[in-house]
Structure 1
Amino acid sequence: MTDSPAPQTDTDAAPQEVVEQAHPWAELAPEHFHLLRLAALPTDRHTGARPLRFIQLGRVERLGKQHSLLRLTLQLPGQRVRKEQNIFEVWANHEQRTVRFGPDTGLLVQPENRGLGRFMLAQGIAWARQHFAHYQVENTPLPSKDAFSEEARARRDHCLQAQGFVVEYLDPLKIKAQCGAPRVSSLHGDWHTEKVQIIELLDAASMLQQADQSLREQEVKVRKLEARIDVFKREDGGLRFTITCLVAFCVFQAGLLIWIATR
């Protein structure tokens, strides 16, 4: 007598993992680029020196029937950042008529304390106001690491509130927080233009041309100074030879006088 295998039940079956497929726009690369000028600012006690810098702003947007996307990225010359840094997204859900700002990991910007966070927020708000001003704004959780100190928390809250967001704390210790707004139209798309400036292509070309012309003028001045230094060196060499000859002649005369006197 053979034993027949027991029928496989749902409880015996291994659970099948459901892999969430990434959105087709999740890895879109920038398509349009602009040059940003970061003005020189006084040295900050936390972030250090803040010299004049130029960085690249990348932009890509998609308008679809179900979703729309704006993605902004910042690229620093000669410096690499983590994948989750220097990226800002605005997602619009047309079925729910909602707009979500920022990546899930929060807005992490390098270099810090240069006005770039508010600039990227303003760019995303301006785009959302242009297309979906009547949409509701989803509440966005704020990472607790952004408020590692009272000063950092106050700076973050001021930046968000200046753009029209409402910051709400979910615990008495002010660790868990979220921000949102009633409508996209209630947000403000301005930023500190004296800190961050968008340089157009013609302006960038003009700046490069002026810099090249200034370098050429400096090279001419340096060559003239080098020529004068060479002249001074030759004159100095001639003077040294003359002085040496005079010293030798004086020594000879003194020796001759001593010889005559002793005779």
Structure 2
Amino acid sequence: MTTAPLNTAVDAKTAATVPEAPKLPWDDVRPEHFQMLRLVPLPADRNTGPRPLRFIQLGRAERHNAHYSLLRLEIELPGQRTRPEQNSLDVWVDHEKHTVHTIPEVLQTEPGNRGIGRFLLAQAAIWAQPKWSAYSIEGADLPNKEALVEGHRLRRDHVLTTHGLEISYEDAQHLKGSYKPVKVGGLLATWNPERIQPVEILDVASMLELADHNLAEKEVQLRKHEESVSQYRRDDHSLRFTIACLIAFSVFQAGLLIWMATHR
């Protein structure tokens, strides 16, 4: 009966002794530079379903002051709304502690299993390494929610290890996992270009020109097919009329022969 008040008192005491984390600036920063990304069509996945060709937009913004640097990345899907925690990644650099961390710690992407997570983490490493390669990324525990499904855990671990993080588990069931601290310079800024590809403006223009050219050719072919179908229909009507005339003439001739035979 006294457990709840006791816990409340302990929590209040702990909250009083633990200092609040400093408030980070730039809450209202929105992406300012944009780039188109091409999601390469892939075979349907048993867990995530169809994976057709799609084009998405990467937005980014940077801010710097004496204490922090920020890279904000957001993925936008044309004609589709996502939850606030999806398709966004903030990379924070603390110049006083010489550390780098990301928000959120667990990256959620939509559509899943298309290479978006690896691409965002690679962009973060490419941005941070030239200036802050000696800064550290602190180790952290991995949430065990994804570890409950073996396929999800393996996919998550593959993404982290391909970026240079070392993962270890405390149990044989692979539920209590964590990754060790690493220098920013030790990260691997790679993603799978067979899944996701940046598309430049000139490439987009060339693709639109090619699509327009192919569409014009298809319209010409369709017009020719329609003319052929119309010609076949006219020929069909002529044949039907000829056949009807022949049938009528045959019936008349047969009737005439019958009449002549019966009136002799």
In the superposition, the TM-score normalised over structure 2's length comes to 0.87
Of residues 60-69 and 240-249 in structure 1, the stretch that sits farther from structure 2 once superposed is: 60-69
2:122 and 2:191 in contact (8 A); partners too: yes
User: Please, what is the CA RMSD of the aligned residues?
Assistant: 2.0
Q: Which runs of 5+ in 2 are unaligned?
A: 1-15
Provide closer, same or farther for how the CA distance between residues 243 and 160 of structure 1 changes in structure 2, counting only shifts above 3 A: same
Q: How far 1:220 sits from its partner (Å)?
A: 1.4
SS in 2 for 1:213: helix
1:95-127 Cα shifts (integer Å, max 9, x gaps): 0111113414x1000111111111111111111
Q: Contact 1:37/1:198 (CA < 8 Å) preserved in 2? A: yes
Whether the 8 Å CA contact 2:139–2:182 is kept in 1: the answer is no
Deviates more, 1:22-31 or 1:225-234: 22-31
TM alignment of 1:1-263, pairs within 5 A: 22-104=23-105, 106-169=106-169, 173-263=173-263
Residue pair 2:148, 2:175 contacting (<8 A) in 1 also: no
Could you say if the C-alpha distance between residues 19 and 97 of structure 1 is closer, same or farther in structure 2, counting changes exceeding 3 Å?
Answer: closer
**How far, CA to CA, are the matches of 2:27 and 2:141 in structure 1?**
20
Deviation of the 1:50 alpha carbon: 1.0
Q: Residue type of the partner of 1:126?
A: I
Please give the per-residue CA displacement for 1:201-221, whole angstroms capped at 9, x wherever unaligned. 111111111111111111111
C-alpha separation between the residues in 2 aligned to 1:91 and 1:169?
Answer: 27
Q: How much does 1:53 deviate?
A: 1.1
Distance of 1:166 and 1:231 partners within structure 2: 71
Residues 166-219 of structure 1 show CA distances to partners (whole Å, capped at 9, x for unaligned) of 224456654343334321111100111111100011111111111111111111
The whole-number CA distance in structure 2 between the counterparts of 1:122 and 1:258 is 95
- Structure 1 distance, partners of 2:101, 2:25, is 17
Q: SS where residue 257 of structure 1 aligns? A: helix
The verdict on how the C-alpha distance between 1:63 and 1:171 changes in structure 2, with shifts beyond 3 A counting, is farther
**8 Å Cα contact 1:98/1:135 also seen in 2:** yes
Q: CA deviation at 1:42?
A: 1.4
Q: Is the 8 A contact 1:101 1:140 kept in 2?
A: no
- Distance in 2, matches of 1:146 and 1:87, equals 19
Deviation at 1:138, TM superposition (A): 2.1
1:152 maps to a residue whose letter is H
Verify the 8 A CA contact 1:88 1:103 in the aligned structure 2. Answer: yes
Q: 1:99 to 1:203 in 2, by over 3 A?
A: same
Matched to 1:165, the amino acid is L
Cα–Cα, structure 1 residues 108 and 94, in superposed 2: closer, same or farther, change >3 Å?
Answer: same
Residue 35 of structure 1, CA deviation? 0.8
Q: Identify unmatched segments of 5+ residues in structure 1.
A: 1-14
Partner SS, residue 110 of structure 1 = coil
Do the aligned residues in 2 keep the contact of 1:181 with 1:187 (CA within 8 Å)?
A: no
Structure 2 CA distance for aligned equivalents of residues 171 and 234 of structure 1: 79
SS at match of 1:111: coil
Cα 1:178–1:102, aligned 2, differ >3 Å: closer, same or farther?
farther
Residues 159 and 20 (structure 1 numbering): CA distance in 2 closer, same or farther, change over 3 Å?
A: closer
Shift of 1:37: 0.7
1 or 2, which has the higher helix percentage? 2
Distance 1:205 1:148 in 2: 45
* Equivalent residue pairs, number: 246
Work out the percentage of aligned pairs sharing the same amino acid.
49
